[in-house]
Structure 1
Amino acid sequence: MRMLRGWCAGSLLFAQSVLSAGQALAADDGTLVDRLEGPQVVTEVVTYRANGEEHVGLIARDAKAKGRRPGILLVHEWWGLNSYARKRAEQLAGLGYVVMAVDMYGEGRTAEHPEDAKAFSSAVMSDWPKAESSFNSALAVLRSRPEVDGDRLAAIGYCFGGGVVLNMALSGAPLKAVVSFHGSPGIAVENPEPFAGRVVIQNGEADSLVSQQGLDTLLSTFESLGTRTTLIQYPGAKHAFTNPESDAKAARYDLPLGYDASADAASWQVMLNLFNGVFKSPKTQPQT
């Protein structure tokens, strides 16, 4: 277990000297002209069944990229699969990954008011076997894509979604890595299992919605299972520090949220560096 408390975004100088997974993928996925012109990110809505319900997810990928690439499952905040989650999926796709933004609520439901968001997210986390089944159904969709290397998969999540992916790690999911951004540390898994991949938990030190006790319990659980886990806490960062819409929502609903551009940039780079390490060679695999 590795705990990095008190890091400020400006101190992450190592990020400048480490090749990001996205940069490496882009360098291998096309001609020089294609690389100079940039990626061609395309998205498509995908419907899939889970627990007898229809779910509406989103696939984002670079249409110029060749061969099979790592796949990333992205789990939304408690607001649901909205424009913010789609934007993050497109960002990762532009770096060469095939990304599936998951619909954990079913039928593409989203929330505008925090009371609705709380109701949706609580319903999911109160029935973990059902939530795990929903996640695995989406993972199966991603894994079946011809562009995806099924041996190189990871998951990231924001807020509610961070809690989901952390619990998937505790469920022993077949992933190389899990990254949580200001995610809930609550343990929903009844019998945690060892996780073979890496876990990175990125949180704001000023996040009043995530308790230190909850983080300590989560870290102790991962440690007892032998899971390689890193906790990074960003000074002054509040809950939802990666979402530029947080300030407006905080003002509208009187919520303790806040965007932090430095913590956002630093946490994104940490994720990319992790992916570069766990996926080993960033080179694409021929499609079959």
Structure 2
Amino acid sequence: METVTTRTVEYPADGLTMVGHLALPAGTGRRPAVLIGPEGTGLNDFQRRRADALAELGYVALAFDLHGGRWFTDPQEMLERCLPLIADPERLRGIGHAALEVLRAQPRTDPGRIAAIGYGTGGAVVLELGRAAADLKAIGTVNALTTGRPGEAANIRCPVWAGVGSEDPIMSAAQRDAFTAELQDAGVDWRLTVYGGARHAFHHPPVDQSVVPGVAHHPRHARRAWHDVLALLAECLPVAAG
């Protein structure tokens, strides 16, 4: 019986050698594909397992890198790397486009059927891909309600789903309102799910989050958010249609 196969892929972006994780479904034919953006801490085994899980469902999946193979354990180091990135849409787009081209070039990928999901900083990357008019069939983000430059949301060509915790101090109610107003004004097909009682990074199993205020794992909502991501893909990028 054929199974999922995985491998590391290296590619240049943002002046670094990125180290992504590619997961391929069983079989030999072309399949729809999903780009997966990690949290600001970087690509770790949790995100790699997300790619593997999507491959088990029949998708070609690439969990992309943000930091040239680094995974930050020090919150201050992470912020020093991520805050300038989030403030610079062109750098975010460069990281996203580099990963998207790697995924699109895979022989198993149906290049016309790609979606992108992202978490935290990785979510900001996939949103900027949408604002740059990337050919995507769906965009999903968790804990990433970043707004873009005026008028560019009109370039988004696909449905957008976003999830956020109601008690997230980073993605506040005001930020939620700004994000949804941007998408609504641009005529984007958007949805926002607010998970009651959840804080920032609620979807990620606890690592060492005690020093980061407003960050906490919420197992029940983490499961729900993953199911909501899968529902988005099932609606916009069904494997059976591939």
Pair in the same fold by TM > 0.5 = yes
Distance (whole Å) between structure 2 residues aligned to residue 283 and residue 161 of structure 1: 27
Superposed, 1:79-228 pairs within 5 Å as 79-105=41-67, 107-183=68-144, 185-189=145-149, 191-192=151-152, 193-228=154-189
Instruction: Calculate the aligned-residue CA RMSD, in Å.
Output: 1.8
Give the AA of the match of 2:180.
L
- SS of alignment partner, residue 208 of structure 2: helix
Deviation for aligned residue 1:140:
0.6
TM-score (norm. length: structure 1): 0.78
Q: SS of the residue aligned with 1:249?
A: coil
Which residue of 265, 274, 279 maps to 2:223?
265
Supply the AA of the counterpart residue of 2:43.
Answer: L
Structure 2: state its 5+ residue gaps: none
- 8 Å CA contact 1:249–1:257 kept in 2: the answer is no
The runs of at least 4 consecutive aligned structure 1 residues that moved more than 4 Å come to none
Change (3 A) 1:222 1:254: closer
Instruction: Give the structure 2 partner of residue 23 of structure 1.
Output: none
Q: 1:48 to 1:281 in 2, by over 3 A?
A: closer
| Contact in 1 for aligned 2:113/2:136 (Cα 8 Å) | yes
* Secondary structure, aligned partner of 1:250: coil
> What are the ranges of 5 or more consecutive residues in structure 1 without an aligned counterpart?
1-33
Q: Is the 8 A contact 1:125 1:188 kept in 2?
A: no
Q: Offset at 1:254?
A: 4.2
Q: In the alignment, is the contact (CA less than 8 A) between 1:73 and 1:156 conserved in 2?
A: yes
Structure 1 or 2, whichever has the larger Rg, is: 1
Q: Does structure 1 residue 59 correspond to structure 2 residue 59?
A: no
Compared CA separation, residues 84 and 255, structure 1 to 2 (3 A): farther
The one-letter amino acid of 1:98's match is: V
Residues 144-175 of structure 1, C-alpha deviations (whole Å, 9 max, x = no match) = 11111111101111122122222322222211
Distance in 2 between residues matched to 1:40 and 1:117, nearest whole Å = 35
Aligned length: 241
AA aligned opposite 1:264 = A
Q: Measure how far apart 1:191 and its partner are.
A: 4.6
* Alignment partner of 1:249 is 2:208: yes
Partner Cα separation in structure 1 for residue 241 and residue 212 of structure 2:
46
> Identical aligned pairs, as a percentage?
30
